[in-house]
Every structure is written in C-alpha cells, then in structure tokens.
A and B are shown apart, each in its own frame.
Chain A
C-alpha cells in the first residue's frame, strides 16, 4: 500500500509539469497580452493612454521577455511559494486570492452539506419506493433542479429575496459588513445572504446525487444477499443501511476527488451572476484580461487539488471497500 501511494505521488510530478505547460500556453493563446487588453479597455471608455507609460509597465511586468523565459520565471517562482504578480490588482497573487478563499470555502461547504442533507434521504426513499408516487414526484423535482440553468434561478431568487425579504442584491453580506471585523451581526448578515447561493449552486448537484444514489442503491437491492437477508428476517432498516447502502456509497467516495477543487473554485458562473466575493469571479476576470500569473497560478492550484483529491479518494476507496483492496493485491 505504501509503495502504491509513493508511486502515485511520483507520477504526479510529471502530470503537474505537463498541466503547468498547458495552462501557461492556453492563457497565452489569445492575441495580445494583459497590457493590450488594458489599453483596449481604457480607450473604449475614452481614457487616454500614455504609450511611454505602457512601455515602462511592459518592462516592469516582464512582458517584453520571451515566452519561455516568462514560463520559467513563473514555474521556479511557484516552487518557492511565489505565485507571481497580478497586473490587474497590482498585488501579489497570494494577497488577491487570500481574502476570498475563506468565504469561498464557507459557501462550498454549506453547499456540500445542503446537497448531502437533501439528497441522501430522497435518494434512499426513491430507491426503496421505486415507481411509487413519491419516487415520481421527487424525481420530477430533481430533474427540474437539474434542468434549470443556475444563473437563471439565481436571478429569480435574487429578485424575490430583495422584494420580499429586503435582502441586498448579490454579495454575501450587507455592504456595511464588508471588511468589518467578525461579529454576531456580520454572521447573521452572511447567513441571510448565504442561503440563496447555497440553494442555487446546490440544486443541480442535489438532483444529480439523488439520481446516482437511487441507481446505485437499486442495483444493490436487486442482489441475492438482500433477498436472503429479507428471508432470514433482518429488520428492514438494518438490512438497508448495513449492506446495500454501504456498497452504493462507492461512487460517493470516488467523488471526493472532484469535490476538493470545487470547494476552492466555488461555482464560477453563479458567483459572477450573484457577484459573490468568492474566487470564481477573479478566475474568470483574470482569464478575460489575460492577467496571466493570477489565472495561471489559480488554475495550477486547482490542478494540484484535483490530482491530490483523486489520490485521496483512491485511498479512501481502498480502505472502504475490500473488493478494491483485495483486487489490487490479487493482481500482484
């Protein structure tokens, strides 16, 4: 097992190296660089641009250097914990992302909890009561959730929350609490705003999870050991939770790998629409303005999390399910 983990970690190095190259190249693919899109933006608003100043900035930002040099500078910097400099914000990348990470994690965790709390009982119910009115009703609701575009739902809910509850539109707290020290009132204000993004981001995930849990559980419920259990008179609750549900949870553990990066990136589109102070909008705008070190470092961070998440879920799966564990040692 230890050797396996070690090998997995070693293969991560070339994987991440390739990802870093891809990320860098893709960010550079659109024509021009940050300063050009900056000039374009200023001029479209009728503001004057001093070419000499731009030249100076180009040198300061190192944009006059060849691409390979820029890549090397970025890569070696990252290894030393320096993620580069955000041109757009005029700050080191870590400072730009730092503040927002915490709120992003709050939203993501709340969303994940919401998804689980809603999806588990419904998934189990509709699997055990297959083709009942309840199953149909809940499935319809689930599909509705899956099919409604997130951003549309977000706008509709924002409008009603504002008109009926007087919640300020967008954002994660009332304006006066931004940058204020943490207090009870601030927490309350955050909770007031939090439920909308949580529901909006959560609906699609919830619906998906209900469907998967139902399908996996149905597979198990058909199996002979369940029939045997029934025949032997095991209480229905125990029979459900102890065996089929555990087996049906494999997909769920395997999903943890994908969960880690989403916790950090925080549903970009919804965050942009609702103007949440999370990392999503930063990522999007940095890609638009070709703020390459911010975008690059962010994507790299997500890549690292994904790679680690996959490893974690593989290990967890092996620990949870003897079939995975034994299957591996049997093949040796």
Chain B
C-alpha cells in the first residue's frame, strides 16, 4: 500500500528553463527610451522579474523588432475583452501543442493533483510597477472569495472538490499553496482558461474599495460617485480584469487598456513590466500598441477587405472568403484558413427530456437516433452548402486529438435509407399516411419540430436538405426559428423536441481535460437539459437520468475527477467516447469548417494555420501574440 502511495506521489514540474544571464544582454524598448531617460520609468533590468521568462518561439516564428500599432476591428465595446484573451498571459497556460506550462508563475509543483504549490517570479511587477506577490493571492482568497458580502455563495465551484474548500497557505512572498484532500483536476485548466479563474488580484489597488480596508465615509462617497447600491458594487466595478474596462486596474497582460469607456476606439498600450523577453533580450510584446475600432459587426468583413484591420478573424465567416481573397490582392494582406476545434459545426440535438411522452420514448431509443443519422445525406450537404470543403462527421473528437479513433467520427454517418427504414420499422413505425409520413403509435404523424436560434441562414439551408432526405425515410421535419433566449427556454422546459446548434466546444481534448462536456453536467446541453440541470443543482431541479448509458456517463465523469494516473483518465475518456459513438446522443453533420484569418503582410510570426477557438486556444492566445511583430514598412 505504501509503495502504491509512493507511486502515486507524482511531482509534476511545469517550469520552463529560465536563463539568468548577465543583465547586459537586455535591450531597452525604443518607444520607452524617452520615459526611462527622463526617469519616469525604471530601466529594463529593473522592470522585468529576476527570473524572467524567455519566450520559446514555435517553429516558423522568428525573433522580431519592436514597434508598430496593431489595428483590430470589434463589433461592440464589450469585445475589448478579446485583448485579454489574445494576450493570454495566465498563471499557467497552454502551449500550441496543448500542454500546460507555467507562464506568469515560475513553476508549479503538483502532488497527486491535489496539492499545488505555485512559485511566483521574484521581482515580477504589476503594470503600474507595484510588486506582484503572494499578498495578491491572499487578498483574493480572504477578502474576495471568502468575503460573505462580495461572494455570497462562496468561492467558485472550480475550487471545491467533494464539497471541500482548499486550504490556502502563503509560505513566503513568492509562494502560494492550494491543497485539497481529494484531487482537483479542474484547478490548473481553470487558471489556463481563455477566461481564467483569477485567483490573484492587485491588492494594493483594490483595497481602497474594500470595506475591510477603507473608511465608511470614503466608501459612502464612492458609492455616491459611481452610482452603485453598496460598496460591493463599487469594488466589483473596478475589479474586472477580464472585461478590461477599467484602465486604472493594474494587470499582468502584455497590453493595458488606456481608454475609458464609452468610446468607439480603444487603445491598448504595452505593459512596460511584462514578464517575457525574447532570446535577444528584447522585452515583449514587440507591438507597442493595439488600436481597436468598434464598427457594426456586419461591416467588419467589408472594413477588413478595405485594409482597416491587421489581424482579423472575429466576425469573419467562411462565406466572406471569396470577397476577402479578391480584396487581398488590392490591399496587401493575406487570407489564411484556420481550423476550428468544434466537434461538429452543426449538430442536431434530440431532446431526450422532451415533454411529449411518445416522442420522448422515441428519442430515448438508440435505434431511432441511429435511423435519424442514417437518413441524413451528409455528402450532399457538404457539396451544396460548403463547396465540398468540410468533413462529414459525427459530433466527436477530431483527428488532431490524441484520443481520436476513426470510428468515433464515422459510426452511423453513411447515407443508408434502407437501413434507416429497417430501424424505423423495427420501432413499430410502419404505418404511413398519404404523404408517406410514418405514423406514431397513437396515430399522429411522425413530425419532428427542430428549434433554431434563428441566427444563421446556414442552419436553415442545412435543415432544408435534411428535410428532403428525412422525408424519404418517412419523417417530416419542420424548423422553428426563434430568438436565442426563447430557443433556450424551450429546450430547458422540454417544449423543444429537437434543436440545432454546434457540437462539442473542445474537440481536441487530451486525457487531462475534463470530459464534463460529454456527460449530463449542465442544462445548456441541449440533448438532456433536465438531466444536466439535475447534476448542476445537485438534485435541486431537473430530473434524475433514468437511461443506463447516461448514468454510466455520469459515473465515468465522476471517476475521471478521482482518477490519479494518466492511463486511468485515458481509459475513462475512451469509454465515454465509445458510449457516444454507439448511442448517438447528438447527431453531428459536418466539422472541420475552416475559419478565415486576415493577416497584414507586414505582420510576422502569425502561424500559417492553427486552431481558431476560444477553448482551448484562446483564439490567437496560444500562438503568443506578444511575439507577433511588424516589419519596417509598418513601424
């Protein structure tokens, strides 16, 4: 037992080798020289951490030069949070190969996935020059997460395992330890998320808004000044690292917002205290500033075509590709096609919790779901809607995923009316009405209403094609467009029989990523909203799943959380994926739909191809936009 325990004692060091060389290899950033010489800013060796991180360039990337302004287009003011996503400075972050590595942190020691010791970089500073220490972690844990007024329900559920809160210790200024008695596999991925869990906050700045540190009179004045109901409102409003709406909030990101909203143009300037340098001793980011122009999102493709953006993927769609390609000749930019990491670009979600009893029984019968899938002519959809450029597939993990097996994607996707007909006959749906539509056991015709969020004509086009092939199998399809909120409420309540949406968000997971997306864990899973809700609320709402296969998924998901070795997790993942392959809980149509990415010809180090997705890629984030640089023509 003891040896086994020792065997489980796995120490995972995520640190990157940091070179501590003589400081004279560092070069001052040209745009900051003036500030340094006038004494407004300390010189570079005083700004960067002692254990500075040397950026590791991915193959194809080369060291660059400082300078330039990156122009971006966004659809709304709220979109400026994209810079926090693109910047992607996280305590730990994903590499392009999707491994976790320490980033803001110098290193992390992990014991059994339950004791995490975070080592900060000595001399690391916030963007205002104040030291970044374990005090910032203490402030978050004690004064925010465990403050009954600021966090009524307590800390985020990602920090809770089996109902247990972590023990948080601060051995010294540069060390923080989170420990649980059971494994918490969600902890590091949450820190590395595109929208990360912030377990550190700039204490020196936020204290002035906190009731524990600020006098009542001053707080009362601030509540008045900012028009809030209480001090919590003032605190929360100033503490939005993800939204980047407060230019005064110190940050650790490569670029810092300098524009107070509301505005139509936001300027993000380089963070002079950023913790990364390149091999030649230049402090990152290379690009001095980012200018975001807000334009209506329908105009973004046109404006991009008119060369008003240097790096654009947001609000571009596959159907803009030809227009952009044409404009690229006139306007000196390059249009690249990146991959998307969704399991399915479009998938049908039979609602296993639908209210109608007859349909519910059908939806819960695997033969019915398989028949639905077999009666879809995916090749035709690919040719007609996507010019044959995408891949016909189930809603499953992609080839790039280490867990991939071909049959996860290809089971039950061939177009086979005969087999579909046999399956439907087996279900007792033999009678047909004058239109050729099969009749249900209670005599009603088999008419499936598919709810759409009414946002894309693409979905409607696909449904139109499915309608034709389903009708041959004796199933009548109606699509019901509505708005997103109505759509969701219909699914949640069980009024929806079936819905159409995109597939798995992260279809390139490793065994270390949680499989919760594939088990009923959230009401936003449209194939089993009530079961998801049941799990999410710990039985307070929703219904307990009664299908054995689904119960198995929940059990596997729980096992994954408790698993302590990579092999165990991998085997659990495969079991889950096999259940999905056989059960067809969702019916994927196509995936591998490319996403156009427009890159100015003067902008370098942007990969030719990559994954454009928020999870796990943080869009451009994992490709480290702080290493993107402009050549002379644009500086």
A interface residues, Cβ below 8 angstroms from B: 30-32, 36-37, 40-41, 43-48, 50, 52, 55-57, 59-60, 62, 82, 85, 88-92, 95-96, 99, 158-159, 162, 168-171, 175, 178-179, 272-275, 277, 281, 285
Q: A88 touching B78 by the CB < 8 A rule? A: yes
Pick the contact of B306: A40, A46, A50, A169 (CB < 8 A): A169
Given contacts A46-B505, A47-B194, A169-B302, contact A179 B488 (CB under 8 A): no
Given contacts A48-B193, A169-B308, contact A40 B485 (CB under 8 A): yes
Rounded to whole angstroms, the CA-CA distance of A96 and B262 in the bound complex is 6
Rounded to whole angstroms, the CA-CA distance of A45 and B77 in the bound complex is 16
Q: A46 touching B615 by the CB < 8 A rule? A: yes
Q: B291 touching A52 by the CB < 8 A rule? A: no
Rounded to whole angstroms, the CA-CA distance of A1 and B233 in the bound complex is 51
Rounded to whole angstroms, the CA-CA distance of A46 and B295 in the bound complex is 22
Rounded to whole angstroms, the CA-CA distance of A40 and B491 in the bound complex is 13
Chain B residues 103-153 with CB under 8 Å of chain A are 150-153
Residues of A within 8 A of B193 (CB): 48
Pick the contact of B229: A32, A43, A62, A171 (CB < 8 A): A62
Report the number of A-B residue pairs with Cβ-Cβ less than 8 Å.
Answer: 114
9 further contact pairs, Cβ within 8 A, besides A88-B78, A274-B299: A36-B485, A55-B152, A82-B227, A89-B77, A89-B262, A91-B262, A158-B302, A171-B295, A281-B296
28 contacts across the A-B interface (CB closer than 8 A) = A30-B483, A31-B486, A31-B489, A32-B489, A36-B485, A37-B484, A43-B524, A46-B613, A47-B194, A48-B193, A52-B151, A52-B157, A55-B153, A56-B152, A57-B236, A60-B236, A91-B261, A162-B306, A169-B302, A171-B264, A171-B295, A175-B308, A178-B263, A178-B293, A179-B259, A179-B263, A275-B295, A277-B264
Rounded to whole angstroms, the CA-CA distance of A89 and B237 in the bound complex is 11
* Top-4 shortest CB links A-B: A178-B265, A275-B296, A52-B153, A275-B295
Residue of B nearest to A173 (CB): B264
Q: A56 touching B151 by the CB < 8 A rule? A: yes
Rounded to whole angstroms, the CA-CA distance of A69 and B263 in the bound complex is 32
Most buried by B among A40, A41, A90, A281: A90
Most buried by A among B153, B296, B488: B296
Q: B227 touching A273 by the CB < 8 A rule? A: no
Q: How far is the CB of A16 from chain B (nearest CB, A)?
A: 24
B228 at the interface (CB under 8 A from A): yes
Q: How far is the CB of A208 from chain B (nearest CB, A)?
A: 26
Q: B232 touching A273 by the CB < 8 A rule? A: no
B195 at the interface (CB under 8 A from A): yes
Rounded to whole angstroms, the CA-CA distance of A239 and B193 in the bound complex is 78
Rounded to whole angstroms, the CA-CA distance of A300 and B484 in the bound complex is 27
Q: A273 touching B236 by the CB < 8 A rule? A: no
Q: B261 touching A40 by the CB < 8 A rule? A: no
Residues of B within 8 A of A82 (CB): 227
Q: B156 touching A175 by the CB < 8 A rule? A: no
Rounded to whole angstroms, the CA-CA distance of A168 and B291 in the bound complex is 15
Residues of B within 8 A of A43 (CB): 524
Pick the contact of B484: A44, A99, A285 (CB < 8 A): A44
Residues of A within 8 A of B154 (CB): 52
Rounded to whole angstroms, the CA-CA distance of A56 and B153 in the bound complex is 9
Q: A170 touching B263 by the CB < 8 A rule? A: no
Rounded to whole angstroms, the CA-CA distance of A176 and B267 in the bound complex is 10
B325 at the interface (CB under 8 A from A): no
Q: B229 touching A60 by the CB < 8 A rule? A: yes
Residues of A within 8 A of B194 (CB): 47
Q: How far is the CB of B521 from chain A (nearest CB, A)?
A: 13
Rounded to whole angstroms, the CA-CA distance of A31 and B350 in the bound complex is 24
Residues of A within 8 A of B233 (CB): 60
Residues of B within 8 A of A171 (CB): 264, 293, 295
Rounded to whole angstroms, the CA-CA distance of A37 and B505 in the bound complex is 20
Q: A92 touching B227 by the CB < 8 A rule? A: yes
Q: A40 touching B71 by the CB < 8 A rule? A: no
Q: B261 touching A90 by the CB < 8 A rule? A: yes
Rounded to whole angstroms, the CA-CA distance of A275 and B263 in the bound complex is 13
Q: A275 touching B308 by the CB < 8 A rule? A: no
Residues of A within 8 A of B232 (CB): 56, 60
Chain B residues 257-288 with CB under 8 Å of chain A are 259, 261-265
Q: A47 touching B265 by the CB < 8 A rule? A: no
B572 at the interface (CB under 8 A from A): no
Residues of A within 8 A of B291 (CB): 175
Rounded to whole angstroms, the CA-CA distance of A46 and B264 in the bound complex is 25
Given contacts A40-B488, A99-B262, A168-B308, contact A273 B152 (CB under 8 A): no
Rounded to whole angstroms, the CA-CA distance of A50 and B195 in the bound complex is 11
Rounded to whole angstroms, the CA-CA distance of A179 and B263 in the bound complex is 7
Residue of A nearest to B190 (CB): A48
Rounded to whole angstroms, the CA-CA distance of A162 and B303 in the bound complex is 9
Residue of A nearest to B505 (CB): A46
Residue of B nearest to A42 (CB): B195
B76 at the interface (CB under 8 A from A): yes
Most buried by B among A41, A52, A275: A275
Residues of B within 8 A of A47 (CB): 194-195, 614
Residues of B within 8 A of A88 (CB): 78
Given contacts A169-B299, A179-B259, A275-B299, contact A52 B152 (CB under 8 A): yes
B351 at the interface (CB under 8 A from A): no
Residues of B within 8 A of A59 (CB): 152
Residue of A nearest to B303 (CB): A169
Residues of B within 8 A of A40 (CB): 484-485, 488
B298 at the interface (CB under 8 A from A): yes
